[in-house]
Amino acid sequence: MSTSENLPPNAYRLPRSNQLEGLMTIIRDKNTSRGEFIFYSDRIIRLLVEEGLNHLPTLPKQITTETGEDYDGVGFEGKVCGVSILRAGEAMESALRECLRSVRIGKVLVQRNEETGEARLYYAKLPEDIHERFVLLLDPMLATGGSAIRAIEVLLSKGVKQDKIVFLNVLSAPEGLKVMYEKYPKMKIVTGWVDRKLDERNYIVPGLGDFGDRYFA
């Protein structure tokens, strides 16, 4: 995991390994089929979820091993849940379930206006006790940050503490990361890759196009 001089202090990105670069190359390629897009973005998402879990606090936990010896280990400090920002965030749910068996998952439906890029909240269904949980917020794309802001507003209104949110995304734009830090400096962001900029339609450049369309449509 690395921070960089170009990243805000609350943002972390996956290390730029050959493997990650190869996976990113496949999902960015406009000639990649839908089946391959799903397979390879799922692999990146699994890496992200594994890294995101490293940002949840742990407490000391003593257990006894099969040899009868005590072992001073750790366990997660509190309850955890996922919240996916639909539609695209749903693509990240299965990786979270693979890592945290029977994890609770809430959903927030936010859509960007195709013309203006403005994000609108349509629906939210969250675990009743979400205010007691750490939240892994799931959305593969962070562009302007508008969609994430709508979703985070809902979480905060339900009593979730900002510093108990870890936002996971595959690809982010510097503009979105900056906005997130200015509005929510205590929330952590774990991103797969930081791209150059946004274009005039608020798409990430070089980007990969519309993640939701490529994964689900």
List active site positions.
112, 116, 210, 213
109: contact with ligand URA by CB under 6 A: no
Pairing of strands 70-76, 188-194: unpaired
Closer CB to ligand URA, 29 or 129, in the complex: 29
- What residues between 165 and 204 interact with ligand URA by CB under 6 A? 203-204
d(CA 142, CA 162): 18
Which span sits near ligand PRP by CB under 6 A: 97-105, 110-118, 155-163, 180-188? Answer: 110-118
Q: Does 8 bind ligand PRP (CB under 6 A)?
A: no
Q: Report the run of H or E that residue 190 belongs to, with start and end.
A: strand 188-194
Query: Among ligand PRP, ligand URA, none, what binds residue 142 when CB lies within 5 to 8 Å by partner kind?
Result: ligand PRP
Stretch that binds ligand PRP, among 1-9, 26-34, 53-61, 109-117 (CB under 6 A): 109-117
**Among residues 135, 141, 166, 170, which is the contact residue for ligand URA, using CB under 6 A?**
141
Under the criterion CB under 6 A, does residue 134 sit at the interface with ligand PRP?
no
How many CA atoms lie within 13 Å of 123's alpha carbon, on the beta-carbon side?
A: 7
Q: CB under 5 to 8 A by kind: which of ligand PRP, ligand URA, none does 85 bind?
A: ligand PRP
Q: What is the DSSP string of 73-114?
A: EEEESS-EEEEEEETGGGGGHHHHHHHSTT-EEEEEEEEE-T
Backbone Cα Rg of the chain: 18
Least Cα distance to 148 among 179, 127, 126, 174 occurs for 179
**Tokens matching residue 124:** 């939210």
Question: Would you call 23 helix, strand, or coil by DSSP?
Answer: helix
Instruction: Count residues binding ligand URA (CB under 6 A).
Output: 8
Tell which one of 143, 151, 160, 187 touches ligand URA (CB under 6 A). Answer: 143
23 or 204: whose CB is closer to ligand URA?
204
Q: Give CA–CA dist 136/164, Å, rounded.
A: 9
Instruction: Note whether 174 binds ligand PRP by CB under 6 A.
Output: no
User: Which one of ligand PRP, ligand URA, none is in contact with 127 (Cβ closer than 5 to 8 A by kind)?
Assistant: none
Q: Please name the residue ranges forming H helices in the chain.
A: 18-28, 34-53, 93-99, 146-157, 174-183, 211-216
Write out the binding residues for ligand PRP, residues 11-40 only, by CB under 6 A: none
Enumerate binding residues for ligand PRP (CB under 6 A).
Answer: 85, 87-88, 111-112, 117, 119, 139-148, 176, 202, 210-212
